[in-house]
Amino acid sequence: MSETTAALLAAIIGAGAAIYAGMLAHRATSGQADKTANAQRDQALWELRRDTYTRYIFAAEECARIHGENYAGERFQEISAAIEELQRIYVQMELEAPDGGDILLMARSLIEHFKELRTLASDHREAAGSSRADAIRTRLRDETRDLNLTIAMMQEAVRAEVNRKAA
């Protein structure tokens, strides 16, 4: 093999190796950029869910406070507005965490508890002084206990979710 042929062959092999090394480097860096972008997106979505869950819990606690001050059913409009706010936040939760599982179930359950409490408080007001009033008061007490238990369970589930995602 002549010197020229050997030099040409070495140049071809060197160019091929450089192209191959460039392709590997490009693949590695583009994959890393995708991983970084996905991690940043996941982090942003996690923060959005965390904030929405927190807003929901605070809104539920406020709704419970209003209900606690409204055992006679006199603040119907205020309770209705608080329930509507919970429903708005719930829709946002569904959009941000379609796989929210137990948290979404508990959030939906809380809305149903509040609707039932609103109805019972209204019924209690209408039944004041009748024989039905005691039965309705018992149902109000039981529903309030269930509501408080569901709020506590949801707080615990959100705490576990936030800690799981942050780890």
Question: pLDDT, tens digit, for every residue of 126-144?
Answer: 888 888 888 888 898 999 9
- The CB-based long-range contact list for 1-4 (8 Å cut-off, 24+ gap) reads none
DSSP 75: -
Residue 92 and residue 112 in contact, taking contact as beta carbons nearer than 8 Å: no
Token look-up 């179930």 returns 105
Answer whether 63's CB lies under 8 Å from 82's CB. yes
Which of 113, 106, 121, 112 is closest to 146 using CA atoms? 113
pLDDT, tens digit (0-9, with 9 covering 90-100), for 83-122: 999 999 999 999 887 676 889 999 999 999 999 988 888 8
Please check whether residue 88 is in contact with residue 56, taking contact to mean a CB–CB distance below 8 angstroms: no
State pLDDT tens for residues 5-39.
Answer: 877 777 888 888 888 888 887 777 776 777 777 88
What confidence score (pLDDT) does residue 39 get?
A: 82
Q: How many CA atoms lie within 13 A of 78 on its CB side?
A: 14
Which ranges of 69-131 would DSSP assign to H, the alpha helix? 76-96, 102-126
Q: Is residue 7 classed exposed, middle or buried when 0-12, 13-18 and 19+ CB atoms within 10 A define those classes?
A: exposed
Measured CA to CA, the distance from residue 140 to residue 94 in angstroms comes to 29
